[in-house]
Chains A and B, each alone.
Chain A
Amino acid sequence: MIQVKLRKTFPARSDSVGFALELEFRAAAGITVLFGPSGSGKTLTLDSIAGFVRPDEGRILLEDDILFDGATGVHLPPQARNCGYVFQNYALFPHMTLRENLVFAAERRPRLERHRRVNEMIERFRLGDAAGRRPHELSGGQKQRCSIARALIGAPKLLLLDEPAQGLDAPLRAEFYDILRQVRSDFKTPVLLVSHDLDECFELGEQMLILRDGRIVQSGTPAGILEGPANLEVARLLGRFNLLPGEIRALDPGRNTSRVLVGEFELEGPYFPGRLKGDHVTVCVRPDQLRALPRNGRPGANQIPAGLTRAVERSQSMRLEFDCGIAVDLSSLEYERQRDNRQWVIEFPSDKLRVL
């Protein structure tokens, strides 16, 4: 378990804006993903935990070890922190073979145990064929496995990864996710991973922390966040929602319903607590929560007529883009059935509507 509370400020200068990182979180065993756009402070957070950067204030506690404490001036060097770090460029020592890279990492241990651990890692990560090669002779997957093995040899209490799958092709990515899952189950080390790829967060993350401009704007499970983004900012960051301006027309807590005006149409949704009639809100609904149907006469309840501008084939579904700026995801089968529609309506689920 790692508990992090830190603050680090970079003052504004004549040719650059200032930046302030301020966050507090905990991560237990399992994979925690730090998600956010470029420049949100993800790598800075990782570097502060690893000891490359000294925060201005705060406290970093890893199990029972205080890695950093602004109040007492404790700031352990990276050597003393027992945190494994997998760099984006792997940082495998180019002048050493794969095996030597692993031996280097195991050098704190007695000689006999050292070789045993190295051999264990080589076997576990299937590096036997490449053990005598230099990093520039290794395949992408081997480099990946070697850098993770090297970080784990010292039995660290925490594993940090900085956008490790960035720029990898699909098979390598999938392989990498498998390795991480293996690490999670075999080593039980908490893993803190930085990513700006939402799909990756979903693949791996048990806990997700969304960072923006140096602050955590939401934390939770990926599924939970996708069901309920905390605010408009988060919804925009995730990029997975239709965001439609609307106005609250009616609220009925008794029957757990509300009515929202979107454009010219009133939609029914669940009761939105904490809202007042007349509030301007943003209706938030995912493309896969909407249905696209052929228009038969007047639109029914919770239906908005729309003209189809584009149908884009995605890897798992068809994305339909409509002229009002709404996107709907349909399964390929459903789309096949409806592709000759000339007029469409978009149906909003009355129970799944959210406002931000």
Chain B
Amino acid sequence: MPLDWFPLWLSLRVAVLSTAISLGAGLWIAYILANRNFRGKEVLASAVTLPLVLPPTVLGWYLLVLIGRASPFGKLWELIFGSPLVFTWKAAVVAAILHSFPLLVISARAALESVDRSYARAARTLGASEWRLFWRVTLPLARRSVFAATALAFARSLGDFGVTLMVAGNIPGRTQTVAVAIYDAVEAGNGAVARTLVLVISFIALLVLTVANRVAMPLTESR
């Protein structure tokens, strides 16, 4: 039986999109957590971390409630785009974000907080706006850790299973991501297919993590 490469391409597409969205939103939330003090700040931090802790079926259930066909959001989506969000590949992106977003926020927050505060103070006395301070000073100094966190989030998005299955389903050629395809292959006794997909995914994940550790240039900090 010829190997269907669709699950792999789908997973890559889903991972790229979910990582990009998680990075954009995640950096923003990480900035807020690292720089602002407000009541309920740690509640926000905990809420962000929650998806990492809850079982996939629980998360899947929450997502179905939030974006399912019967939900306000789901109805709105169907209204705008003409078809439901659930059981499409876009729902797989949402499922992947659920894990990549917390990973990014936690790592990025730690990275931003680890930058010596005196640089931020210096930049402020030099008249830099908070925007310029973040993009020109803090983020560049934290970029190694943020890059590593992004790679981690990408690798995680690549392999999501439980939540994806619940909200995107297992429609071959449409929403069957690689992790789901492997499950299918194992259930069907299709050892060769399963093995190939497993090896490819393992290789990609390893490659991504190695690149993350080496490409990001180490910064030598001085006095």
Contact = CB atoms under 8 A, between A and B. Distances in A.
Contacts of A91: 116, 118-119, 121-122
Contacts of A108: 127
Contacts of B119: 91, 93
Contacts of B125: 50-51, 78-79, 81, 83-85, 151
B220 interface: yes
Interface stretch (B30-38, B43-51, B86-94, B135-143): B135-143
Contact of A135 (B124, B137, B222): B222
B128 A79 contact: yes
Contacts of B122: 85, 87, 91, 93
Contacts of B39: none
A104 B137 CA distance: 10
Interface string A84-125: 110101111111000000001101100000000000000000
Contacts of B136: 104
B80 interface: no
A52 B122 CA distance: 10
Interface in B193-221: 219-221
B53 interface: no
Given A79-B127, A93-B137, A94-B141, A87 B222 contact: no
Given A91-B121, A91-B122, A136 B221 contact: yes
Nearest to B140: A95
A101 B174 CA distance: 52
A107 B121 contact: no
A154 interface: yes
A82 B140 CA distance: 25
B121 A87 contact: yes
A77 B116 CA distance: 19
A157 interface: no
Contacts of B223: 89-90, 143
Contacts of B185: none
A348 to B, nearest CB: 48
Contacts of A136: 220-222
B124 A77 contact: yes
A89 B220 CA distance: 15
B126 interface: yes
B16 interface: no
A292 to B, nearest CB: 44
B132 interface: yes
Interface residues of A, number: 32
B30 to A, nearest CB: 19
Nearest to A81: B125
Contacts, number: 70
Nearest to B122: A91
B126 A105 contact: yes
A286 interface: no
A248 B35 CA distance: 61
Contacts of A50: 121, 125
Contacts of A134: 220
A150 interface: yes
Contacts of B137: 93
B123 interface: yes
Nearest to B132: A107
A84 B119 CA distance: 14
A89 B121 CA distance: 12
A151 B222 CA distance: 19
Contacts of A104: 123, 126, 128, 136
Given A104-B136, A143-B223, A87 B118 contact: yes
A51 B123 CA distance: 13
B120 to A, nearest CB: 9
Contact of A79 (B124, B141, B219, B222): B124
Interface string A276-308: 000000000000000000000000000000000
Nearest to A143: B223
Contact of A94 (B121, B132, B222): B222
Of A81, A84, A93, A154, which is in contact with the most chain B CB atoms at under 10 Å from its CB? A93
Interface of A: 50-52, 77-79, 81-85, 87, 89-95, 104-105, 107-108, 134-136, 138, 143, 150-151, 153-154
Interface of B: 116, 118-119, 121-129, 132, 136-137, 140-141, 219-223
The 5 closest A-B pairs by CB, nearest first: A136-B222, A91-B122, A78-B124, A85-B125, A91-B118
Given A50-B121, A51-B125, A79-B125, 16 more contacts: A50-B125, A51-B124, A78-B125, A79-B127, A85-B121, A87-B121, A89-B223, A91-B122, A92-B222, A93-B137, A95-B140, A104-B126, A104-B128, A104-B136, A105-B126, A107-B127
9 contacts: A78-B124, A79-B127, A87-B122, A89-B118, A91-B118, A93-B123, A108-B127, A150-B126, A154-B127
